[in-house]
Amino acid sequence: MADPAPHPVQAGRSQGGRSPASDAAMALLSAFVREGVRDVVVAPGSRSQALALAAAELERVGAIRLHVRIDERGAAFLALGTAVESGRPALIVTTSGTAVANLHPAVLEAHHSGVPLIVCSADRPAELRGIRSNQTTMQPGIFAGAVRLERDVPAPEGAPGEADAAAAVAREAVAAALGRDASGDPVPHPGPGPVHVNLQYREPLSAVLTLDVAPRAEEPWTTPAEAPRPGGAVIEHGPRTIVVAGAGAGPAAEEFARDGGWPLIAEVTSGAHFGPNLVVAYRELLREPGFGDAVERVVVFGHPTLSREVPALVQRDGVEAIVVAPTGIEWYDPGRRVRRFERAVRAAAHEPDADERAWTGRWVRASRMLLDEAGPAAASVRSGVDETGHVSDFSAQREYMRAQLAAVRAPVTRRMLVDAVWAATWPHDRLVFGASRLIRDADRAVPGRRIPVHANRGLAGIDGTVATALGIAIASQAPAPGESEAPDAAAPAVPARTGVTRALIGDLTLLHDVGSLLLGQGEPRPRLQLIVGNDGGGTIFDALEVAGSAAPEAFDRVQFTPHAVDLAALAGAYGWGYARATTRGELDEALTGRVDGPQLVEVPLPR
């Protein structure tokens, strides 16, 4: 070629001087686009400027959806949220030093939840390590055993072949994040998860770089879930069996329970909380004679985290436990008592006999009775309206109207709150739960309904819940670059866009991630309701045994951690809409009203 130093990015051109860092950054990010990446989250920094500016140029030509956040922890959870919703790996770009360490909570959550997350951390070149160079630490290995792949990429020199090397890194990183091998086939072990690409850069750290043509995916995008599932081990009938679905179980658990005719215990975030065999009041029944003590076999899908009764059942003598996980490094094994692990299972073809039908029917009926007893009292007041639609009993009509008015004016309880949010959410919406007391209240009460529900249950922390919900809302409400809602010859079609994302969280969960309320300028403002149950602190800790023995003042200070934050002022400071709901009527109005952007709904709750 005439140019002795060919630009490593086809269809791109640098201006005002050459920077190997910029050339390599553009080559890498363009390769990620060709591998199907569409969401890139950037946290600002000096050493990462080449990556950040390359991302901005890719956004300009319509190749990616770019999100800019100040705080690296929130930025990483935002990327995690977009990956959860889209199934595509999401990129998080940071500078060196403590910026990389701030990604660790999201990397751990992605590791334990099997979410494809790719960290692109900028770094000083190798010669500056170990000499106390500013903002320099040992970034390779910083995530220990939590990543599926780690690559420490040497600083580019502008030599021929560096673009090809960058493309190879991108291909390898995306495959590892998706839990695929070199041929693209799913690999059960270790399965999807986070990847760390550490990128050394020397000065000059950037130059102006423009693209003439946007990079495009080389092949149609397919997620690992679209790969054919193996038939799996056959589970025969005979023992009295319960099917348990924890976080990440998905609809396969419901299908298995229905095929086998067995009762289904499905946590609210399992993706299997629906169907004719669902047992919502499972905690009470697992403690009830004739129910829990009669279980002979339990088949567990996903990662149960919301009760003590389920792990106690798995560990009980005389109960055969079978744990099912299509992918992953760790198996669910409370007490290390499980003896059988499977990647897939299926129920043996069988026509249930009378005893088997009675077994499942008892669980389902008893659960419904318990829910009816615990729920709001059924309306026992006659309306006074006859079959013609006219008032025939004016006294009964007055009593009925008084009862309806009292219900609307009733103060909001936790049960009322979870019921109302669940009822207001539909399959085209998204629902996110924080790791607070409310998710357990919902798990105890809400009926079966096939709606998309998510919670960060990999490590069940409150870290980054606001950011995760934002990522889910953004990815679900607009087509990714290169997609369209109507099929055409140029881009694959995507499903109709979703409605509203609702996040039901506690006040401490909000305050822990309050910085994520700050949205990037010029970025879309998603339809997101943060519904905050505000009881003034961490009432989830009131359920601990120590709450009954510790000194109240000490317990409140170090566990309950009381606060008096003005959430209305907080919402206003970040430019969010705000509503306050103290009664059932106000709550229904907030949940059914029009949502045009981010909104915080405060619901005061008693301790």
Segments making up each domain of the chain, as ranges: 12-215, 233-373, 377-403, 414-604
pLDDT at 350: 87
Between CA 372 and CA 377 the distance in angstroms is: 8
Sites in the chain below the pLDDT cut of 50: 1-14, 225-228, 378-379, 486-496
Between CA 169 and CA 196 the distance in angstroms is: 11
Q: Give the fold, CATH level 3, of 12-215.
A: Rossmann fold (3.40.50)
pLDDT at 223: 61
Tokens read off for 212 = 């003439």
pLDDT at 391: 62
pLDDT tens by residue, 197-223: 999 999 998 888 888 878 887 777 766
453-454 and 430-433 strand pairing: parallel
Would you tell me how many other CB atoms lie within 10 Å of the CB of residue 202? 16
96 Cβ contact partners less than 8 Å away, ≥ 6 residues apart: 45, 47, 48, 121, 122, 123, 124, 135, 136, 137, 139
DSSP helix/strand/coil, 433: strand
Between CA 428 and CA 79 the distance in angstroms is: 21
Name the CATH superfamily for 414-604. Thiamin diphosphate (ThDP)-binding fold, Pyr/PP domains (3.40.50.970)
**CATH 3.40.50.1220 correct for 233-373:** yes
- Give the type of residue at 579: A
pLDDT tens by residue, 316-335: 999 999 999 999 889 999 99
Q: How many residues does the chain have?
A: 607
Beta strand ranges found along 378-497 (DSSP E) = 430-433, 453-454
Nearest one of 161, 174, 137, 172 to 20, comparing CA atoms? 161
Same fold flag, 12-215 and 414-604: yes
Between CA 480 and CA 90 the distance in angstroms is: 12
pLDDT at 295: 97
Give, rounded to a whole angstrom, the gap between the first and last alpha carbons of the chain: 74
Tokens read off for 506 = 């506690």
